[in-house]
Amino acid sequence: MTQKKFNVLIAALLVVLLLAGCAKNSNSNDTASTDGQSTTASTESAAGKTITLAYSQGAGQTMDPHDAGDLTSASYAFALYDQLVTSGTEEVDGKTMGRTDQIVPSLAESWTISDDLTTYTFTLRDGVKFQSGEPVNADAVVYSFERVQTKGEGGSAYTLANIKSVTKIDDKTVAFKLGAPNHLFLKYLATFSFSIVDPSIAKNNADDYLTTHSAGSGAYKLEKWDPATEAVFVANKDYWNGAPKVEKIVIKFVAEASNRELFLQKGEVDVAFDIPAKDVESLSKNDNVTINSESSNRIVYLGMNANFKPFDQLKVRQAINYVIDQNKLIQDVAYGQAAPLLSSISSKSPDYTAEGYEYKYDLEKAKALLKEAGYENGFTFDLTVNSSTQDYEDIAVLLKAELEKIGVTLNINKVAPAQYRELINNKKAAAYLGKYTSLVNDPSYHYGFLLESNGASNYTGYSSKTVDDLLAQANVEPDDAKRAELYKQVQKQVTADSPWAYLYESNLIVGISKDVKGYIFYPDEIARFSSLYK
């Protein structure tokens, strides 16, 4: 195999294309002039302008990109920090869409890959500085990757990336050695977990300092943060990729969907996330609001922990699957803003297959399976539901009614977000409603977190040697076709083992003021603030 090279000339070409709108950098805030050269928004146009976004899940858990695990904190990381590479964009029917499967230069202007696919050598961009004024150099890169290893979420990503060493060659050059070829390595590097932090700040403060402060090179600086209510970011006017087009970004925590919608319609917020599907039609009639509903790789499922009776029995888990009427859920809960879920990964994921999925709504089949499992008279269980997600409660109410038809009593355990996370993270929930969006849209990432035996987000405690072995084999398989077949075997095995009951694939629904421009949907569902403007 010849050495794969991404040299400076190609990187420069990518940047020109990016500025021209063919493959835009996800952190780019420039507009393209007629000669293809970038022009940044003027200071006058940015002065005093504020964009306010309403989030449903809280105002974020942390400002530390290496510890971030929720989508809100992830959006903060992308605002405050840069990564070596980033996700691109493309124009689809006159609309800019994010492409997490397309990698373009960011702090690294170019890179090369060794013939054996295990060594990646990156050349850093000249003249980039952290917000402190310190240079973004090879020492900062090495330090950042040493630091991320010690963190929970970031450490899991580091392990999945199979990084064995990160070495400084000179101030502008860094080499990564992998334990084995990894077809996802560049995509991993584009995630917020691998943000580059300023050693001059991080090293000289307590380890938890970055939980509430920032030390990045990103388009925005942190002004203030109250995890219970709001976060405020101000423009980094010296940003290496062009100053943001608005002076300030304000994040508001608005738990109630009705309030998010009201504030949006009154102009008190500019962007509202997690708009309920039931309100899409009515809000679409408002001339001052645009509804953006995009099919993502988000899956919604019912997790069953085999360490709790009766979910330790396969036939019980199978019976629950036969009680699921996906079409009814899609119409009555998701109001058509969803699609059937027929595998443990989204249909938007590479190597997806619905093979092995045989469940159809069949109450008699469910009753027969319960009888075979010794639960002819049914049983009672608690279903843990996050109180901040209205869809969860609607799903639970519908499932409760269906399960009563086969003699099973479902108690809805509705808890606050913090308690919900504690229960499922510690595997203390016998059953729970969950949703998951893979930040890297690939089976390796998805299963590595969710269903591999030691996965950080394996909240059902599912463990299958067959699945683990198939994943280990697939993760180092360089041949695309062979790897695809291995992932299909994984899907069929997981479906057969039924640690989950599949519910549906949901859209990400965002309400946007007509005055706001530059919103870009990414399949990972993480908002990028720097493209927004009025």
Q: Is residue 518 part of a domain?
A: no
Q: Based on the fold, state whether residues 125 and 182 are members of the same structural domain.
A: yes
Stretch 228-248: mean pLDDT: 96
> Is residue 342 located within the same domain as residue 198?
no
Q: What sign results for the dihedral spanned by CA atoms 202, 205, 206, 208?
A: negative
Instruction: Select the more confidently predicted residue: 397 or 154.
Output: 397
What is the per-residue pLDDT for 148?
Answer: 97
- Let me know whether 336 and 212 are in one domain: no
Q: Are residues 416 and 474 in the same domain?
A: yes
Q: Are residues 151 and 248 in the same domain?
A: yes
The pair of structure tokens assigned to 400 is: 């409760």
In a domain, 381, yes or no: yes
**The last residue of a domain, from among 237, 270, 303:** 270
More confident residue, 25 or 155: 155
Whole domain around residue 303: which residue ranges? 295-507
State percent of the chain over pLDDT 90: 77
**Residue 525 lies inside a defined structural domain of this protein:** no
Instruction: Quick: pLDDT tens for 383-437.
Output: 999 987 778 899 999 999 999 999 999 999 999 988 999 999 999 999 999 999 8
3-class state of residue 304 by DSSP: strand
Task: Tell me, yes or no, whether 62 and 106 share the same domain.
Answer: yes
Q: Give the integer Cα–Cα distance in Å for 283 and 275.
A: 9
Q: Are residues 265 and 338 in the same domain?
A: no
Instruction: State yes or no: pLDDT of 153 exceeds 90.
Output: no
Domain shared by 327 and 399, yes or no: yes
- Is 13 within the bounds of a domain? no
Q: At CB < 8 A and 24+ separation, what contacts does 28-31 make?
A: 28/241, 28/242, 28/530, 28/531, 29/219, 29/239, 29/241, 29/242, 29/243, 29/244, 29/245, 29/530, 29/531, 29/533, 30/241, 30/242
Query: Cα separation of 370 and 408, whole Å?
Result: 10
Q: Are residues 102 and 225 in the same domain?
A: yes
Looking at residue 296, its pLDDT comes to 83
Q: Tell me whether residue 236 is in a domain.
A: yes
Give the CATH number, domain containing residue 133: 3.40.190.10
Asked whether residue 306 falls in the same domain as residue 259, the answer is no
The overall average pLDDT reported for the chain is 89
The Cα 37–Cα 31 span in angstroms is: 9
Q: Examine the pLDDT at 189 and tell me if it is beyond 50.
A: yes
Confidence of residue 176 (pLDDT cuts 50, 70, 90): very high
* 416, amino acid identity: A
Q: Using one digit for the tens of pLDDT, what is the confidence trace for 261-305?
A: 999 999 999 999 989 899 999 999 999 999 999 888 899 999 999
Q: Taking residues 299-324, what's their average pLDDT?
A: 97
The answer on 381 and 243 residing in a single domain is: no
Q: What pLDDT does residue 11 have?
A: 39
Q: Which two tokens stand for residue 437?
A: 């969006």
pLDDT, tens digit (0-9, with 9 covering 90-100), for 355-389: 999 999 999 999 999 999 999 999 999 999 998 77
Please report whether residue 67 resides in a domain.
Answer: yes
Count up the domains in the chain and report the number.
2
Comparing 524 with 368, which gets the higher pLDDT? 368
Task: Note whether 317 and 418 are same-domain residues.
Answer: yes
Whether cis (ω within 30° of 0) applies to the bond prior to 310 is yes
- pLDDT-derived band at 48 (thresholds 50, 70, 90) equals low
38-47, 85-94, 380-389, 393-402: least confident range: 38-47
Among 253, 270, 287, the domain boundary falls at: 270
Structural domain includes residue 56: yes
Q: Is 453 within a domain?
A: yes
What is the band of 31 on the pLDDT scale with cuts at 50, 70, 90? very low
Distance CA 210, CA 198 (A): 10
CATH number at residue 398: 3.10.105.10
Of the pLDDT bands very low, low, confident and very high (cuts 50, 70, 90), residue 105 is very high
